[in-house]
Every structure is written in structure tokens, then in C-alpha cells.
Amino acid sequence: MFEPELKPQQVKEINLLRCCLLYYIMYGYCLKLSEQLEIKSANGDIKELAKLLENPHVKSLLSVHDTVAQKRYDPELPPLPEYLNIEQSSVKIIRLVKNKEPLGATIRRDDETGAIIVARIMRGGAADRSGLIHSGDEVKEVNGIPVDDKKPEDIIRILAQSQGAITFKVVPGLKEDASLREPKVFLRALFDYDPRNDSAIPCKEAGLGFKKGSILQIMSQEDATWWQAKLDGDANPRAGLIPSKQFQERHWVGFLLSFRSHRDIFSAGFAEHLWDVSVFFFFFCPGPSGVGMNELKRKLLISDPQHFGVTIPHTSRPKKNQESDGVEYHFISKHLFEADIHNNKFVEYGEYKGNYYGTSLDTLRGVLTKKKVCLLDVQPHAIKLLRTAEFKPFVVFVKPPKLERLRETRKNAKIISSKDDKGSARPFTEEDFQEMLNTAEMMESQYGHLFEKVIVNDDLTTAFSELQSALKRVETGTHWVPVSWTHS
């Protein structure tokens, strides 16, 4: 498509028009301008400009401008109704114009006085933004209707039916909004929450649903039972109710013991924080094992030996001829091994055929000092010990796929029956698969909240590339970390 080209005469006219509008803006009055132009009519251009200003289109444009500029566009509120007794000095008359958005406030009936009280104002909601209604205010009338004898549900119905401006007559409460001074708190959710399924929540509509792993910004902890929170990054400014940490502990742990590990929120981060390169990994390691943790670790090491490192374990078993100290193992005496256990020098250790095997914290530090990402597999109970600012672990849980997929993918795979009996590999049995699945399920339910990433090792190549891209994201992006890590 071509754009139509302007003729030289049209260009001239446009330029003149521009010039004239500029002139008009500067002096404001078209008539004055015309008058002045008439006086100096000797110049041909000025004559042309004066003619253009006489043009009915330009005149009407200017007239429209004047009309628009004189109008007021503020919303017009109707006058206050006469029934309001504004003489009562302690009473506040609040007028809000209602749109489709909910008011963002909840009410309750005071058990002792029977008064209708504003229970809470949802942060960022319409009522909060108006700055006129506060929690603790006593509602006396809504649109001239006294609410003393009404149930909260009836008042909500009146509100829902109201259109346009709503008038509230309230007695301001004395309570100071202490939460405004609260620091910013972010939490990571460790369970899914749907307020619609929670019978304890005082107002389901005001609840905020979230998923396990969601980052929640806590907007108010004023109420010990129901906090107000926003989902991080959510454009909606209105906060929603979530069960407070104390409430979860008190109510759910009491009678829902089996959900304990899920029903817990822990503080995740004050601010987004770059992970240190000294991250290391936890891989899934069930009893008879075989989920593929070694395989994935080996692939990572080969992919970039300068970047990744592994720890060399300690053992108290005698060195074999072909072995060298510090290569396969650090060989130490049983006595020294026991002393090191006593001094908490091991991340974890175990005994096999009368000999100790273990990974020491110092060997882990050794890899990190070389500025390498340390790949480590530990049993889940060791995560707590390592989840510190010093190590900043990125915990990956390698999970087996469904039984059918295990049978298919591990058809030709061999399981090594013990750590030290190299070569005694045998095909997987149904029991191995079952044990792998059972252990995985148990670990996930018990330690799931400590896993940063879960990788299902179905197809090996897919699992490996998933792991690689997760690592890349960790090392290059920003992530939520526990507050305590940011102080180091």
C-alpha cells in the first residue's frame, strides 16, 4: 500500500494551519488574532492565514475546544440526604461511588454490644484505597437504613443491591492501624489452599487461594488468625485472607496429623536474591536405589568438568591394591572415623560389612572453595543440616516414573546391589521397582517442602535436559531464598 502524497499547496496550507494553531494557543483568542491579522493584511501569507482562520471548520474546532475546556469532569455526587443528622460529632458520613469491584471490607456483629463493626479492610481494595473506612468502625446506617437490628448478611444484601453512590454512617473506631508499620514479609506456601473448602474462614469471598510453591506477600498480620496476603506479582491490588502460621499449627496439626508437613508455611525470602554459585544438589537415594541419581550426576560431570565437582567419601575399610588414597576414598582408621562422627564432621555416614562410609563437611567445603558446583547425593534427613547460608543448597528430588514406565525404560538397565561390591550388577526386579516407588512416595510426603525441584526420571535424556535447564536458571536468575541466607 502507498500513502497518498500531498501537493505542495496542501503542505503549505497545513503548515499555515499549524502556525495558526500555535499562535492561537499562545494568545488564546482567535478573534483577537483575526483582528490583528486584518491590521497587518499587507503580507500575502498573513492574508492567507486570516482566511484560513475564517474557515468554518477551524472556527468550529476552536469553539469545540472552548466548550470542552470549560466543562468539569469530576464525578458528581448527589447532595447529602436530609435524614442524616450531621450534628452528631462522633459520627462520620462516608459516601463511596460503587463500581463493579467489591468494597473490600468485611463486617461482623459485636457479641457484647450487638453493634455492626467493620471487621477488616482488605489491603488495596476499594475501601482501603478510599482511606475513609477503617477496621473497628461501627456501621450505623447504610443508605439511610439503620443497621442495628440487621444481620451482617442482610447488610451485605443491601450493599449488593445498591447502585452508584453508597452512604455509610459510621462511628469511627479508635483502633490504630499498626500493620502499616509492619515490614515486608514474603512466605512460600507449602500446600495448596482453597478458601472455598475451608470451613474455618470467616468470609470465603475475602479468602486468597494459592498453590504449593506460591510466593505470598503478607500485607497484614494484625489478626493473629487470619493474615492478609497478596500473591507475588499479582496485578490485583486487593489482599485476601490466608490462615496465619499460628492458626495452621493450632488448628490443623491438632486434628489433621497426617497433613502436618504440608500444613506449614515457612519464611522464604525478604527479597529476591541471587543464588551463590556454591549450590549443590541432593539427588534421590532410596534403599535398594536405582532411580538414576548416579547416572544424572555422571552426565552432569561429563558435560562440564570445570564447572561441576563431586565429593570423595571417607571410609574405614582397608585400601585395596589398585586404589589410591584421596581418589576413590579418603582412607582413615576406624578410630578416627568414630572421633569425626562424634565431632559432627559428617554430612552423613553409614556402616556396611563392619566398615564406615561417609561424606564429610570438609570435603564438601573443599569442592566449593574451588568455585565448583558440588553435586552431592544425601539422604533427605541430611538436608536440614545443609540448608544454611554457607551452602545454599538447591535440592533436586529425582523421582521414579509410574510402574509401567519403570518396567519399560529399565528393561536393559542393571542395578548395582551394593556400594562397595563393584561389578555385582543385576537386572531390576518387580520388588526393586515397588520399593523405589514406595520410598519415593514416603520421601516426598515427608520432605517435599524441602525440594526445590522434582525431576521424574522417565526418559533419561529428557530428565537430564530438564535438570540442565533448571541449573542454568538457578545460576543465572534470581530466586526466593530463606531470609536468613540474605544476612550472610
Ligand X SMILES: Nc1ncnc2c1ncn2[C@@H]1O[C@H](COP(=O)(O)OP(=O)(O)OP(=O)(O)O)[C@@H](O)[C@H]1O
Residues of this chain that bind ligand X (CB under 6 A): 285, 289-295, 409-410, 413-416, 457, 460, 463
Q: Find the residue with minimal CB distance to ligand X.
A: 292
CB 333 to ligand X: min, Å: 26
Smallest gap, in angstroms, from Cβ of residue 217 to ligand X? Answer: 38
Instruction: Give the rounded distance of the alpha carbon of 185 from its chain centre.
Output: 11
CB 382 to ligand X: min, Å: 14
Question: Which CB atom, from 459 or from 475, has the smaller least distance to ligand X?
Answer: 459
Nearest residue to 341 via CA among 383, 333, 287: 333
Q: Residue 332 and residue 317: Cα distance in Å, rounded?
A: 8
Nearer to ligand X, 147 or 406 (CB): 406
If DSSP codes are grouped into helix, strand and coil, which group holds residue 98?
A: coil
Q: What are phi and psi of 285, to 5 degrees?
A: -140, 80
Which one, 214 or 457, has the nearer CB to ligand X? 457
Q: How far is the CB of 318 from ligand X (least distance, A)?
A: 22
CB of 321 to ligand X, least distance (A): 24
Identify which of residues 214 and 289 has a Cβ nearer to ligand X in the complex. Answer: 289
The nearer residue to ligand X, 58 or 413, going by C-beta atoms, is: 413
**Nine cell digits for residue 281:** 544438589
Q: Minimal distance in Å, beta carbon 437 to ligand X?
A: 13
Q: How far apart are CA 377 and CA 375, in angstroms?
A: 7
Alpha helices in 343-459 (DSSP H): 361-369, 383-386, 403-409, 430-447
Smallest distance, Å, CB 314 to ligand X? Answer: 18
Closest separation in Å from C-beta 466 to ligand X: 11
Shorter beta-carbon distance to ligand X: residue 238 or 410: 410
Q: What is the spatial distance between Cα 224 and Cα 249, in angstroms, rounded to a whole number? A: 12
What residues contact residue 338 under an 8 Å CB cut-off, 6+ apart?
356
Query: In the chain, what are the helix, strand and coil shares in percent, each to the nearest 5?
Result: 35, 20, 40
For the bound state, the minimum distance from the C-beta of residue 418 to ligand X, rounded and expressed in Å, comes to 8
Q: Which is nearer to ligand X, 125 or 292 (CB)?
A: 292
CA distance 273 to 417: 42
Nearer to ligand X (CB atom), residue 91 or residue 460: 460
| Distance, C-alpha 191 to centroid of its chain | 14
Distance CA 146, CA 162 (A): 15
Task: Say how far apart CA 389 and CA 377 lie, in whole Å.
Answer: 19
For 214-236, the DSSP string reads -EEEEEE--SSSEEEEEETT-S-
CB nearer to ligand X: pick between 186 and 428 = 428
Across 209-322, the runs of DSSP E, i.e. the strands, are: 215-220, 226-231, 240-243, 266-267, 273-274, 280-282, 308-310, 314-315
